[in-house]
Amino acid sequence: MKRMYIFLGRRDKKGLKIVTFLNVETEVLATRLGSPKILDLSVQWQSELEKLIHNHRMEWEPWVIGAQSYQEFKQKAQKIGFSNIPLAPNPMMGFEKMLIDGTTAKIDKLPNQKTMLRKKID
């Protein structure tokens, strides 16, 4: 099972904050997250996530990246231009209970980037 890292990236890409990570069943490419509603989380987690994104909206924007490990996440984030990535994954929100329960995020509704070519980051 893969993990999807939800993080806040600075708009100038000079830093990021890990919000949380969730289990997913398929590959998740690096994508900006428009609204957390598309992940079909429980109402409690969704409202908490929306509040966090709203409080940081001036300098930070939400992103998602799929990765097996935190090292892989760091490499993928660097490839899309982020710097000053934290050394350890200290999430702002604790979804550990969801990970233990095996809850998975639904990524069917994630927006697909419309570009002529799309580079897969591995």
In the numeric block, which tokens belong to residue 89?
């994954």
Residue 42 belongs to a domain: yes
Between these two residues, 107 and 85, which has the higher pLDDT value? 85
Model-level pTM? 0.77
Residue 122 belongs to a domain: no
Residue 12 belongs to a domain: yes
pLDDT digits (tens, 9 = 90+) for 17-26: 998 888 887 7
Owning domain of residue 92: 2-101
CA-to-CA distance for 80 and 93, rounded, in angstroms?
Answer: 24
Residue 118 belongs to a domain: no
pLDDT digits (tens, 9 = 90+) for 56-88: 889 999 999 989 989 999 999 999 999 989 888
Q: Of 81, 94, 90, nearest to 15 (Cα)?
A: 81
Q: Are 36 and 22 in contact (CB under 8 A)?
A: no
What separation, in Å, do the N-terminal and C-terminal C-alpha atoms of the chain show?
Answer: 16
